[in-house]
């Protein structure tokens, strides 16, 4: 695994890489994570972590670009080449754009096949960090990376239909692209403390609307603040709790000033930096969870956290992967923050509706977005890549399983799930590169299509 970021860390991609790696290790894969010099103190089980040299450079955990990154990325490539040689690595599994470019350099130098896990579109995200000026230059660089990076990989996994369509528009053959959505360990949200926020903050019995995650510009916390102002005008007791996992002090101060200007001082709690072990308790304490990011081409990990915790979710449609309006979420059109505020108010006024949406959201996790399910699909891709790399045709069952996964695996809503009988696969397990019986069983259970 190539993780060109601080690792482990309690946000987005690092969290997904950690959970994916642990799930693959439980299936018997020997997983090595090659990453930047530092990370947070979060347990990682079943895998080995190899850190690039830091040479004393300060590298705080943060989201987005910073001036040390090119240095760390070069040192990461050096470490990756050493790990591939010493550990006899067979597949390079790279995450995000930097990881893919580093993985491609290692692929050219070692001949190992490269799997790229695509989670975003850089032309949309890079300008939002305001690191590269002018903004037009950042957008041009993002477009260039959007064109180049997908071409480097032998196989690509994407976390959403939008990203799969994006790859198709870039001319990437469909046989190289597989939809494998982001995942989660739902068991971490069991037995959480529903009074955790009320015990740590003086909120009394006020209803709590919760946002968790980073405060970067693309998350559109400004929409959330304006939506909450509208809801609080009709429900003065409503309280917005903002639980950031990675804090940028400059951005935090910007939103504090905005909240004060909106007259929201009495309706917002700015919670301390979020720790992973407290996240389940924080979510269990909330009445509603909000996702204010519009038009997200990837799959927000916070959304999976909300669903696994059984929360009623208010979100823009562009980010609401796996949600349907009034079935397992309250969805509004992108950028319409007035409707976002109406959605918050509706669920505060109708607790039975909020409860039903939360129950349905949680029910949609198992078998669709849990890592136990998704890791089996990634394992199929690994086996297929090894067969191709060895110039093998692959056995009939390997080819059919891979085709079945690529065309048929989609997460769907439980109430509208249709199942059909998958192809009949011969059981050929004489080689260690044949698909394990439990993977075949998994795919036989997971025949799904969108309706």
Domain covering 187-363 assigned CATH 3.50.50.60 in the classification: no
Q: 47 pLDDT exceeds 90?
A: yes
pLDDT of residue 436: 42
Q: What is the secondary structure of 351-413 as a DSSP string? A: HHHHHHHHHHHHHTTTTTTBHHHHHHHHHHHHHHHHHHHTT----HHHHHHHHHHHHH-----
Least confident piece of the model among 37-41, 208-212, 218-222, 360-364: 37-41
Give the C-alpha separation, 158 to 176, whole Å.
11
Peptide bond into 444 cis (omega under 30): no
Q: 447 pLDDT exceeds 80?
A: no
Give the residue with greater pLDDT, 321 vs 133. 321
pLDDT of residue 405: 54
Positive or negative, the CA dihedral 295, 299, 301, 307 is positive
Place 60 in a pLDDT band, splitting at 50, 70 and 90: low
pLDDT of residue 401: 53
Give the C-alpha separation, 351 to 341, whole Å.
16
What would the pLDDT profile of 219-245 be if each residue is shown by its tens digit? 999 999 999 999 999 999 999 999 998
Mean pLDDT of the chain: 85
What would the pLDDT profile of 394-444 be if each residue is shown by its tens digit? 444 455 555 555 554 444 433 343 333 333 333 333 333 343 444 444 444
List the domain boundaries for the chain: 2-183, 187-363, 403-451
Taking CA atoms, 390 is separated from 111, 311, 379, 433, 436, in Å, by: 11, 47, 17, 11, 19
pLDDT of residue 247: 77
Q: What is the mean pLDDT of residues 116-142?
A: 84
Q: How is residue 220 written in tokens? A: 């559109």
pTM higher than 0.75, yes or no?
A: yes
Taking CA atoms, 385 is separated from 86, 175, 216, 433, in Å, by: 21, 12, 36, 10
What would the pLDDT profile of 312-340 be if each residue is shown by its tens digit? 999 999 999 989 999 999 999 999 999 99
DSSP 91: -
pLDDT of residue 169: 92
What would the pLDDT profile of 150-164 be if each residue is shown by its tens digit? 999 999 999 999 999
Q: Do strands 268-270 and 208-212 pair parallel, antiparallel, or not at all (unpaired)? A: unpaired
Domain 2-183 is in which class? Answer: alpha beta
For the purposes of burial, counting CB atoms within 10 Å of the CB of 310, is it exposed (0-12), middle (13-18) or buried (19 or more)? buried
DSSP 341: H
Element (H, E) at 240: strand 239-243
pLDDT of residue 62: 64
Place 275 in a pLDDT band, splitting at 50, 70 and 90: confident
Q: 192 pLDDT exceeds 90?
A: yes
User: Is 187-363 the same fold as 2-183?
Assistant: yes
């Amino acid at each position: 695994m190539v993780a060109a970021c601080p690792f482990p860390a309690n946000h987005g991609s690092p969290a997904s890489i950690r959970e994916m790696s642990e799930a693959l290790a439980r299936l018997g894969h020997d997983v090595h994570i090659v990453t930047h010099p530092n990370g947070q103190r979060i347990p990682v089980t079943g895998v080995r972590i190899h850190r690039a040299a830091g040479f004393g450079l300060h590298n705080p955990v943060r989201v987005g670009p910073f001036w040390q990154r090119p240095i760390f990325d070069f040192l990461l490539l050096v470490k990756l080449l050493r790990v591939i040689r010493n550990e006899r690595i067979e597949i390079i599994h790279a995450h995000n754009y930097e990881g893919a470019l580093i993985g491609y350099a290692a692929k050219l130098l070692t001949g190992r096949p490269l799997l790229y896990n695509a989670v975003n579109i850089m032309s949309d995200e890079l300008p939002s960090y305001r690191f590269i000026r002018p903004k037009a230059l950042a957008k041009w660089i993002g477009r260039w990376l959007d064109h180049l990076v997908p071409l480097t990989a032998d196989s690509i996994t994407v976390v959403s239909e939008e990203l799969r369509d994006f790859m198709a528009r870039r001319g990437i053959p469909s046989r190289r692209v597989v939809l494998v959505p982001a995942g989660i360990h739902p068991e971490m949200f069991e037995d959480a403390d529903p009074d955790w926020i009320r015990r740590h903050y003086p909120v009394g019995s006020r209803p709590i609307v919760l946002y968790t995650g980073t405060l970067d510009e693309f998350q559109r916390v400004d929409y959330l603040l304006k939506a909450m102002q509208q809801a609080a005008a009709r429900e003065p007791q409503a309280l917005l709790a903002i639980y950031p996992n990675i804090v940028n002090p400059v951005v935090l101060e910007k939103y504090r000033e905005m909240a004060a200007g909106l007259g929201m001082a009495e309706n917002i709690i700015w919670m301390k930096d979020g720790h992973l072990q407290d996240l389940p308790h924080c979510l269990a304490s909330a009445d509603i969870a909000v996702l204010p990011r519009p038009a997200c081409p990837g799959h927000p990990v916070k959304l999976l956290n909300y669903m696994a915790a059984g929360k009623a979710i208010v979100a823009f449609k562009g980010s609401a992967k796996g949600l349907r309006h009034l079935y397992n979420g309250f969805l509004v059109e992108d950028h319409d923050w007035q409707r976002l505020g109406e959605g918050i108010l509706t669920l505060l006024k109708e607790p039975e509706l909020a409860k039903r949406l939360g129950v349905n959201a949680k029910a949609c996790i198992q078998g669709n977005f849990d890592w136990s399910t998704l890791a089996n699909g990634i394992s199929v891709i690994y086996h297929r890549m090894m067969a191709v790399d060895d110039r093998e045709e692959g056995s009939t069952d390997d080819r059919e399983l891979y085709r079945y996964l690529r065309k048929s695996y989609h997460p769907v809503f439980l109430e509208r799930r249709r199942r059909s009988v998958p192809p009949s696969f011969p059981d050929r397990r004489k080689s260690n590169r044949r698909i394990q019986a439990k993977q075949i069983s998994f795919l036989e259970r997971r025949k799904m299509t969108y309706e």
